[in-house]
Amino acid sequence: MPFMCKKVVCFDLDDTLYKEIDYLKSAYKEIAGSVGHPELLPQMMAWYKDGKNVFQELNLFLGIDKPITEYLQIYRNHYPIIQLSKGIEDTLNELNNRGVTLGLITDGRSVSQRNKIMALRLYRWFNDDNIIISEEFDSEKTEERNFRYFNEKYPESEFVYVGDNPMKDFYQPNLLHWNTVMLKDDGRNIHKQEYDVSQSYLPKVTISSLIELKEVI
């Protein structure tokens, strides 16, 4: 039997609840340590900022021929050192205290996303059956059924989706008549926000901090 509730707020994960650049830095630190040169983390970050292939540059710098796939395995499977962005814990606590049902809809591999969820201790607010990870759900982030799952589970509810990427976050929830809220890039996002898209891809509301979310829903 479906659950009933008044309001459901679903979040994106990367660059919404935390900064993905911190995950990248955490992975590079793990990789630098794996080749016995933890001091190379700043250099790896510099290569990244210069748009270079960091793993190829690392091999060249060290004079080794480690397969790129091994670096990728470490990157995707490591347990990250990351933290929630400023104000998010208070926001999630307040929404939870209001009786709002919280969900997570995120693109990515199961191991990577689950490790992020554990590192951020998101199970304090999100029930496991309200967490949709694209690989586990056998879908792409942009597919309707990721969002329709919540429509069917919580009928007669108001729905909000909070994300950061107009290219893939808001189109489907807009079609389903959800309220859509975009967290504005503070300059640190991995994927820059693209506004030159059709209206159907744009959020209905833009905020500068998730602290503002309490006022718009």
Tens digits of pLDDT across the chain (217 residues): 455 558 999 999 999 999 999 999 999 999 999 999 999 999 999 999 999 999 999 999 999 999 999 999 999 999 999 999 988 999 999 999 999 999 999 999 999 999 999 999 999 999 999 999 999 998 887 789 999 999 999 999 999 999 999 999 999 999 999 999 999 999 999 988 988 889 999 999 999 999 999 888 8
Tell whether 53 and 30 lie within a shared domain.
yes
Tell whether 125 and 168 lie within a shared domain.
yes
With respect to residue 1, please indicate whether it lies within any of the assigned structural domains.
no
With respect to residue 2, please indicate whether it lies within any of the assigned structural domains.
no
Query: Using an 8 Å Cβ cutoff, are 179 and 204 in contact?
Result: yes
pLDDT at 3: 53
Tell whether 108 and 157 lie within a shared domain.
yes
Query: Using an 8 Å Cβ cutoff, are 99 and 6 in contact?
Result: yes
pLDDT at 104: 98
Residue 135 tokens, joined: 């690989």
Tell whether 53 and 127 lie within a shared domain.
no
35: containing domain: 21-77
Q: Report the Cα 217 to chain-centroid distance in Å.
A: 20
Tell whether 150 and 127 lie within a shared domain.
yes
Tell whether 159 and 64 lie within a shared domain.
no
Give the count of domains, the chain: 2
With respect to residue 209, please indicate whether it lies within any of the assigned structural domains.
yes
- The whole-model pTM stands at 0.93
Residue 145 tokens, joined: 């059924």
How far apart are the C-alpha atoms of 68 and 75, rounded to whole Å? 11
Q: For 139, phi and psi rounded to 5 degrees?
A: -150, 165
At 70 the three-state DSSP class reads helix
Tell whether 30 and 70 lie within a shared domain.
yes
Query: Using an 8 Å Cβ cutoff, are 40 and 190 in contact?
Result: no
